[in-house]
Amino acid sequence: MGEQRAARLMDMPGMPVEGEPMQSFTGTPLVPGRTAGPVLWSDTGLSFMGGVDPVTGTIIDTHHPLHGRSVAGRVLVLPSGRGSCSGSLALFELLMNGHAPRALIFRHPETILTLGVVIAAELFDRAIPVLRVGSEGFAALADFARIRIDEAEIMPDDGPDAAPEAWLPPLDADALALTEADRAMLDGAEGEAARVASRIVARAALLEGADSLIDIEMAHLDGCFYHGPASLDFARRMRDLGARCRVPTTTNALCVDRRRWRDDGVPGALGTASEELAALYVEMGVAPSFTCAPYHLETTPAFGQQIAWAESNAVVYANSVLGARTLKYPDYLDLMVAITGRAPNAGCHLGEGRLARLRIDVPCPDAPDDAFWPLLGYHVGKIATNAIPVVCGLETLPATPDDLRAFGAAFATTSAAAMFHIQGLTPEAETIAQATGPAGPDAHVAVTLADLAATWAELNGAGTDAVDLVSLGNPHFSPGEFARLAALCEGRRIAEGVEMIVTCGRDVHALAAAEGHLARIEAFGARVLTDTCWCFIGEPVVPPKAKVILTNSGKYAHYGPAAVGRGFRFASLAVCVEAACTGRVAPGLPGWLRA
């Protein structure tokens, strides 16, 4: 039943009505509604978290073709979202403050942003129409200046704007093979929070094309950071409804280091809001782990274990490297799954949902440094925007778990896919047989060193060799990275006027202290922060005088320019340490990247 529903969602939308030129066509309403207004169209996916200002709706992603435009009041037409699981949280914020798009239209399945609308509708009666269209309709919308949406019908329109009117359709619980316990929860037998959560989980299952729910054994919540007043409204509402997590659940990084934010000069409004938000989640039974790298905790999931993780880098690492099974859970849906212990039986929870559909052949460079892996991950994500790829050609290249983690974090920044495979390096990469079998891959792409050099230039946009701040720990630093950094810093001292800041989880921080790594790094002159992550750090932790930031993170090299308004350089860990000592980073390509 689930496969048939998924097939219908793929085949239905976007067929034009007879007659030329195209006057109207139909889509599949995911959240039905009506509206009219100007079209904002792009053939590049957009992450609302880190890509859209949550207060104004302006697109701040400097790498996106719509940079500088506003989504507010527009019918936003995209192939899909991409990047962060927090897109749902960011869209929820815009819905609550009145700066959301007038409607959303997607070409590909898009659960993260759609769930942002569903959750706002269920809890606060705020919604906009969301539709899916086929390839022909999507292409046609590029030529429409304005459109009118009337449930499934999309038509060009030269009339006045019409405020969005949208509603959730009746929940078709009978379309899912629910257990008696599921139905009791839907009927309120477990309390109001569980009733609301189970409704949202069921709606998510239908959107994913699932025909049933499964038990999950653990969860990791991404949406515990303060992104605006709506994030507090959501957590308070769920706490007041009596929400409690029924499976072991951990929390992602916050906007502040809870142990030192006052000393760091963080504004009181942000610090106190972050404290309250963290406390609300702890009240709901969430462990105060505050890390974007939950795979470093003692609760690391096992191969084949069914889990519900949000945070894009954690999702792709869990699926791809650990072999655990999780969807790319949208923020707030992750909490609903933790409350119910039930999840959609779809996507990467299923064996067939984990198969590679795109083969990417890459050159194996001669003795690359660790910058190769995030660079390649970022580039592969731009190719495999919506399909799970299998990367071939690196079978003879050794890779550490940290290398694969860096690849995955950068990949998850530019792709909407929930996992990847690398032949010879990841545990399920034998899916290359299915990817190249009778069904065939969606595409077969060959990458060259020249392609990677162009992406290197994209991540090194500062235009100067001077470095003011070295940023490490996005995702949070691992024990192995602390050991390597301490060795690189041994007997050296950071240059005057340069700062180095490392972020990590509390557990890893304690381990690094116990092993003596922390003392050597701090003697070098670096600062180490816990609880927070570079995705959320701004001034004054980022020094106001700093103009150029050097990082070894492909993820932060992408999000950083929009987040903090600085120029960025990208390089290996060793180059980062050398630059911290000299205040400069060598221009040009690394030797292994020169053709």
Distance of CA 496 to the CA centre of its chain: 36
Query: Which conformational region is residue 424 in: left (phi greater than 0), alpha (psi within -120 to 50 degrees), or beta?
Result: left
- d(CA 401, CA 405) in angstroms, rounded, equals 6
Give the pair of three-digit tokens for residue 502. Answer: 């490392």
* pLDDT exceeds 60 at position 448: yes
- State residue 255's pLDDT score: 95
Residue among 449, 459, 447 nearest 365 (CA)? 449
Q: Is the dihedral of CA 317, 322, 327, 330 positive or negative?
A: negative
* pLDDT exceeds 80 at position 394: yes
Cis check for the bond before 475: say yes or no (omega within 30 of 0): yes
* pLDDT exceeds 90 at position 104: yes
- Over residues 384-407, the mean pLDDT reads 96
- State residue 463's pLDDT score: 86
* pLDDT exceeds 70 at position 10: no
Per-chain mean pLDDT for the chain? 93
Which residues on adjacent β-strands are paired with residue 38? 146
**Other residues' Cβ atoms within 10 Å of the Cβ of residue 306:** 16
Give the pair of three-digit tokens for residue 10. Answer: 């793929």
Q: pLDDT digits over 235-246, tens only?
A: 999 999 999 999
Residue among 234, 179, 176, 237 nearest 204 (CA)? 176
Q: pLDDT digits over 22-49, tens only?
A: 578 999 999 999 999 999 999 999 999 9
- d(CA 20, CA 463) in angstroms, rounded, equals 49
- Over residues 357-382, the mean pLDDT reads 96
- Strand 308-309: give its sheet, edge to edge: 249-251, 219-221, 308-309
- Over residues 288-294, the mean pLDDT reads 97
* pLDDT exceeds 70 at position 330: yes
Helix (H) or strand (E) holding 109: none
- Strand 567-570: give its sheet, edge to edge: 527-530, 499-504, 469-472, 548-551, 567-570
Give the pair of three-digit tokens for residue 341. Answer: 């212990």
Asked about 320 being catalytic, the answer comes back as: no
- State residue 442's pLDDT score: 59
Beta strands 146-150; 33-41: pairing state: antiparallel
Q: pLDDT digits over 517-541, tens only?
A: 999 999 999 999 999 999 999 999 9
**Other residues' Cβ atoms within 10 Å of the Cβ of residue 1:** 12
- State residue 485's pLDDT score: 98
Q: pLDDT digits over 175-190, tens only?
A: 999 999 999 999 999 9
- d(CA 419, CA 431) in angstroms, rounded, equals 12
**Other residues' Cβ atoms within 10 Å of the Cβ of residue 492:** 15
- Over residues 47-60, the mean pLDDT reads 94
**pLDDT bracket for residue 85 (50, 70, 90):** confident
Residues 6+ apart with CB under 8 A from 444: 358, 359, 361
DSSP code string of 53-95:
-TTT-BB--TTSTTTT-B-TTSEEEES-B-S-TTHHHHHHHHH
Residue among 263, 241, 248 nearest 541 (CA)? 263
- Over residues 57-84, the mean pLDDT reads 95
Question: Is 165 within 8 Å of 62 (Cβ atoms)?
Answer: no
Distances 34 to 129, 136, 154, 169 between C-alpha atoms, Å: 7, 22, 10, 14
**pLDDT bracket for residue 434 (50, 70, 90):** low
- d(CA 53, CA 461) in angstroms, rounded, equals 21
- State residue 83's pLDDT score: 86
Give the pair of three-digit tokens for residue 48. Answer: 């609302």
Catalytic residue among 47, 80, 84, 231: 84
Give the pair of three-digit tokens for residue 228. Answer: 């605006």
- Over residues 64-86, the mean pLDDT reads 94
Cis check for the bond before 540: say yes or no (omega within 30 of 0): yes
Distance of CA 309 to the CA centre of its chain: 11
Domains, the chain: 2-166 (3.50.30.10), 181-350 (3.30.499), 355-457 (no CATH), 461-593 (3.30.499.10)
- State residue 325's pLDDT score: 98
* pLDDT exceeds 50 at position 135: yes
Q: At what angle do helices 401-414 and 479-489 cross, to 10 degrees?
A: 110
Distance of CA 575 to the CA centre of its chain: 27
- Over residues 224-233, the mean pLDDT reads 95
- Helix, strand, coil percentages, rounded to 5, for the chain: 35, 15, 45
Q: pLDDT digits over 149-173, tens only?
A: 999 999 999 999 999 999 999 999 9
Percent of the chain with pLDDT over 70: 94
- d(CA 448, CA 465) in angstroms, rounded, equals 26
Q: At what angle do helices 449-459 and 372-383 cross, to 10 degrees?
A: 100
- d(CA 337, CA 513) in angstroms, rounded, equals 35
Reduce the secondary structure of 164-230 to three states and give it as a string.
EEECCCCCCHHHCCCCHHHHHHHCCCCCHHHHHHHHHHHHHHHHCCCCCEEECCCEEECCCCCCCHH
**pLDDT bracket for residue 430 (50, 70, 90):** confident
pTM over 0.75: yes
- State residue 444's pLDDT score: 87
**pLDDT bracket for residue 594 (50, 70, 90):** confident
- State residue 21's pLDDT score: 54
Which residues on adjacent β-strands are paired with residue 550? 470, 569
- State residue 178's pLDDT score: 97
